[in-house]
């Protein structure tokens, strides 16, 4: 299957070519023809499968016919977080560079005034988080009657974040005749109910959950005998110092800990900064940029803020806590080992994490190999046992070379399939992109 065979326009094909993509990913091959046929689509796919392009590419061609009217967006894309919304905006810029479509973002942290001006002019594509969209709607700033295409992305995450009532409201506000493209990595009962209620005979496109052979993450577990936060932070510094760690995303379960850990690392001279939902948008964007460019070594993140972020070269993921939801473990460690690279994940676990750890181990179907005992200082002895019985003893990781030496067999985990990018994502849009006046500068940075 080629992109030409999917029925995309020459201008879109040119942009895809410049992005360096040669072959459609499975979700793209499955969804794009259905979108062109006008069918509703239910895409069961995780981030990393190329799902964003599976809706943005056909939307660009569909929306290139017709014009936007003031306050009446022609299409609406709902994302759970600002970062994902910004990422989708980047996709529209990249793939829509040879079209003249207008786009606006309605996300927290961007001033109402700017957003309102864009909406007033009329937009082809409106990308929004649910709360901000409903705010603007309730203020009478947007009319939904022109929405022909509605995209709900990361629906299961919306469920986790309590957005389902908002999503139902958004469905009811948009015309019955709209086409709906609905994406979710998993299908819990509540999501299935939404699909059954609001989608019309959707084409179901499901991608493999299994990792591609290229996506390997070596996972390790460091079990600590005490819950003491100070000891835990000291162990964390040891890990950072011992590992040949180019950069890392470090996850904490709580926003408060994100701040504390980032501050503590900085105080110890380790380049680190926090990212979570309570931080001002411009700070979040700046922090992400610094991390992407290599200026910042450790991004300390909450699950929500880091969900779906596409940062190709992350050498390590460190879980400062075991995530409350087992599926977040897969999302977290999937931040490394992307784009054909290998990656290392190290999960720290204390007695309070044992329940959460048991469900991660159950989900994986095998214990997580212990992180090398020799790294751990004698002052606080550690255990390396997962709470469920390991099926067999795994080798311990040895120390200490300039490169991380992995003696435990890398475990291929069900991280999302990652299409290999032949060239770096390339082609920054020119300053006068088709969306030039509609997009805050930081969104056009690649
Ligand atoms: P997504 O699942 O939308 O987050 O996409 C994951 C990554 O795959 C992004 O960096 C895209 O730029 C990249 N990508 C999307 N489609 C393709 C493709 N057909 N070939 C190669 N890379 C792709």
Tell me: pLDDT of 54 over 50.
yes
| Count of domains observed in the chain | 3
* CB-based contacts of 424, cutoff 8 Å, min separation 6: 20
Name which of 83, 51, 18, 92 is nearest 439 in CA terms: 92
Domain identity same for 10 and 65: yes
Torsion of CA 434, 440, 445, 446, to 10 degrees: -70
Residues 19 and 165 in one domain: yes
CATH code for the domain in which residue 149 is found: 3.40.50.300
> Is 59 within the bounds of a domain?
yes
Q: How far apart are the first and last CA of the chain?
A: 28
In the DSSP assignment, the letter for residue 54 is H
Task: Using the atom order of ligand 1, give the atom closest to the CA of residue 425.
Answer: 12
65 occurs within a structural domain: yes
- Distances, alpha carbon 151 to alpha carbons 52, 75, 345, 350, in Å: 10, 8, 33, 40
Q: Which atom of ligand 1 is nearest to the CA of 52?
A: 3
Residue 273 lies in a domain: yes
Nearest CA, atom 11, ligand 1: 50
The pLDDT score that the predictor gives to residue 387 is 36
Q: Give the pTM.
A: 0.61
From 86-90, 150-154, 155-159, 342-346, the region with the lowest mean pLDDT: 342-346
Query: What pLDDT, in 10s, does the model give residues 68-90?
Result: 898 999 999 999 988 899 899 99
pLDDT at 331: 81
Hey, how many other C-beta atoms are within 10 angstroms of the C-beta on 352? 12
Residue 444: inside a domain: no
β-bridge mates for residue 149, sequence order: 75, 179
419 C-beta closer than 6 A to ligand 1: yes
- Are 337 and 411 a contacting pair, CB within 8 Å? no
Q: In the listed set 185, 206, 227, which residue is the last one of a domain according to the structure?
A: 206
Ligand 1 neighbourhood includes 304 CB (under 6 angstroms)? no
The protein residue with its alpha carbon nearest to ligand 1, atom 5, reads 50
53 lines ligand 1 (CB under 6 A): yes
* Alpha-carbon span 16 to 96, nearest angstrom: 9
149 with 255, same domain: the answer is: no
pLDDT value at 282 more than 50: yes
DSSP type of residue 278: T
Q: Is the domain of 79 the same as that of 202?
A: yes
Cα of 419 vs centre of ligand 1, distance in Å, is 6
pLDDT of residue 366: 76
pLDDT of residue 74: 97
Residue 406: what pLDDT? 31
What is the CA angle 44-315-414, rounded to 5? 30
Q: Assess whether 324 and 202 both reside in one domain.
A: no
Question: Could you tell me the CA-to-CA distances from 215 to 30, 339, 411 in Å, in that order?
Answer: 22, 7, 10
pLDDT tens-digit profile of 163-179? Answer: 999 999 999 999 999 99
Q: Are 247 and 315 in contact (CB under 8 A)?
A: yes
Closest of 25, 43, 311 to residue 203, by C-alpha: 43
* pLDDT band at 438; cut points 50, 70, 90: very low
Residue 134 has pLDDT above 60, yes or no: yes
| pLDDT tens, residue by residue, 310-357 | 776 788 999 999 999 887 888 888 777 766 567 889 999 999 999 999
Q: Looking at the structure, tell me whether residues 198 and 222 fall in a common domain.
A: no
- Whole-angstrom distance, CA of residue 150 vs CA of residue 179: 6
Chain-centroid distance of CA 168 in Å reads: 23
Res 208: pLDDT: 62
The residues that bridge with 274 in the sheet, in sequence order, are: 300
pLDDT of residue 340: 59
3-state DSSP: the chain helix, strand, coil percent, rounded to 5?
40, 15, 45
**How far does residue 425's CA lie from ligand 1's centre (Å)?**
9
258, two tokens: 């994100």
Average pLDDT, the chain: 80
Q: What is the mean pLDDT of residues 203-213?
A: 64
Q: If you take atom 13 of ligand 1, which residue's CA is the nearest one?
A: 50
Determine the Cα–Cα distance for residues 60 and 74; give it in Å rounded to an integer: 11
* Residue found under tokens 């510094």: 237
Q: Return the bridge partners of 275, or none.
A: 301
CA-based angle 416:186:34, to the nearest 5? 80
| Burial state string for 324-335 with b = 16 or more CB within 10 A and e = fewer than 16 | eebbbbbbbbbb
pLDDT-based confidence at residue 368 (cuts at 50, 70, 90): confident
Task: Evaluate: CB of 26 within 6 angstroms of ligand 1.
Answer: no
Residue 192 has pLDDT above 70, yes or no: yes
Catalogue the long-range contacts made by 1-6 (C-beta closer than 8 Å, 24 or more residues apart). 1/29, 6/32, 6/33, 6/36, 6/57
Q: Is the pLDDT of residue 203 over 60?
A: yes
- The secondary structure of residue 368, as a DSSP letter, is P
CA triple 241-266-296, angle to 5 deg: 80
Do 375 and 404 belong to one domain? no
CB contact burial 118-139 (16+ within 10 A = b; e otherwise): bbeebbbbbbbbbebbbbbbee
Q: Which of 45, 127, 419 to mutate to test the pocket of ligand 1 (most atoms within 8 A of CB)?
A: 419
Task: State the residue for tokens 């399939």.
Answer: 417
CA atoms within 13 A on the CB side of 409: 8
My answer on whether 122 and 51 are in the same domain is: yes
166 within domain boundaries: yes
The pLDDT of residue 1: 82
Alpha-carbon gap, residue 418 to 49, rounded angstroms = 5
Same domain membership, residue 97 and residue 58? yes
Q: Which atom of ligand 1 is nearest to the CA of 416?
A: 2
Residue 388 located in a structural domain: no
- Give the domain extent around 180: 3-206
Residues 287 and 308 in one domain: yes
Candidates 28, 421, 426, 429: which one to mutate for ligand 1, based on the most atoms within 8 Å of Cβ? Answer: 421
Query: Looking at the structure, do residues 167 and 260 belong to the same domain, yes or no?
Result: no
Q: Are 23 and 192 in contact (CB under 8 A)?
A: no
pLDDT above 60 (res 222) = yes
Q: Is the pLDDT of residue 52 over 80?
A: yes
- Is residue 259 classed exposed, middle or buried when 0-12, 13-18 and 19+ CB atoms within 10 A define those classes? middle
Q: Is 215 in the pocket of ligand 1 (CB under 6 A)?
A: no
- Say how many Å lie between the CA of residue 308 and the centre of ligand 1: 12
pLDDT at 12: 97
Mean of pLDDT values over 133-148: 93
- Percentage of the chain with pLDDT > 90? 50
Q: What is the radius of gyration, based on Cα positions, of the chain?
A: 22
* 375 pLDDT above the threshold of 50: no
Model pLDDT for residues 23-49, shown as the tens digit of each residue: 888 899 999 999 999 999 999 988 778
> How many A from CA of 136 to the centre of ligand 1?
31
Same domain for 317 and 417: no
Summarize pLDDT for 292-310 with one digit per residue, the tens.
Answer: 899 999 999 998 777 767 7
Residue 393 covered by a domain: no
Residue 446 resides in a domain: no
Tell me the residue length of the chain: 446
């Amino acid at each position: 299957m080629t992109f030409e065979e999917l029925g995309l326009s020459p201008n879109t094909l040119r942009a895809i070519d410049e992005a360096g993509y040669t072959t459609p990913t499975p979700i793209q091959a499955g969804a794009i023809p259905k979108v062109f046929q006008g069918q509703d689509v239910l895409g069961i796919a995780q981030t990393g499968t190329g799902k964003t392009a599976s809706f943005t590419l056909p939307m660009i061609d569909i929306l290139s016919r017709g014009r936007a009217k003031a306050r009446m967006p022609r299409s609406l894309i709902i994302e759970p977080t600002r970062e994902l919304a910004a990422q989708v905006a980047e996709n529209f810029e990249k793939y829509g560079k040879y079209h003249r479509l207008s786009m606006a973002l309605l996300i927290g942290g961007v001033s109402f005034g700017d957003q309102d001006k864009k909406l007033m002019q009329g937009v082809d594509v409106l990308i929004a988080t649910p709360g901000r969209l409903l705010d603007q709607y309730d203020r009478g700033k947007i009319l939904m009657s022109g929405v022909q295409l509605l995209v709900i992305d990361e629906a299961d995450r919306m469920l986790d974040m309590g957005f389902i009532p908002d999503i139902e409201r958004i469905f009811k506000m948009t015309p019955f005749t709209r086409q709906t493209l609905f994406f979710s990595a998993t299908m819990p009962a509540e999501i299935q109910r939404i699909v059954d209620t609001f989608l019309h005979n959707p084409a179901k496109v499901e991608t493999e959950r299994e990792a591609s052979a290229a996506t390997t993450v070596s996972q390790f577990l460091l079990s600590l005998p005490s819950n003491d936060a100070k000891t835990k932070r000291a162990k964390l510094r040891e890990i950072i110092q011992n590992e040949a760690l180019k950069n890392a995303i470090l996850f904490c379960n709580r926003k408060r800990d994100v701040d504390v850990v980032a501050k503590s690392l900085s105080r110890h001279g380790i380049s680190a900064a926090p990212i979570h939902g309570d931080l001002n948008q411009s700070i979040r964007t700046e922090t992400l940029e610094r991390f992407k460019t290599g200026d910042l070594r450790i991004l300390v993140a909450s699950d929500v803020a880091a969900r779906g972020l596409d940062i190709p070269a992350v050498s390590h993921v460190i879980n400062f806590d075991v995530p409350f939801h087992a599926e977040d473990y897969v999302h977290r460690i999937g931040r490394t080992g992307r784009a054909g690279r290998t990656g290392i994940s190290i999960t720290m676990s204390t007695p309070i994490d044992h329940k959460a750890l048991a469900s991660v181990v159950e989900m994986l179907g095998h214990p997580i190999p212990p992180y090398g005992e020799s790294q751990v200082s004698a002052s606080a002895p550690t255990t390396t046992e997962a709470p469920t019985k390991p099926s067999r003893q795994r080798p311990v990781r040895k120390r200490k070379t300039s490169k991380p030496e992995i003696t435990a067999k890398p475990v291929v985990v069900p991280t999302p399939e990652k299409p290999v990018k032949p060239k770096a994502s390339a082609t920054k849009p020119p300053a006068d992109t088709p969306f030039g006046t509609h997009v805050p500068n930081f969104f056009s940075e690649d």
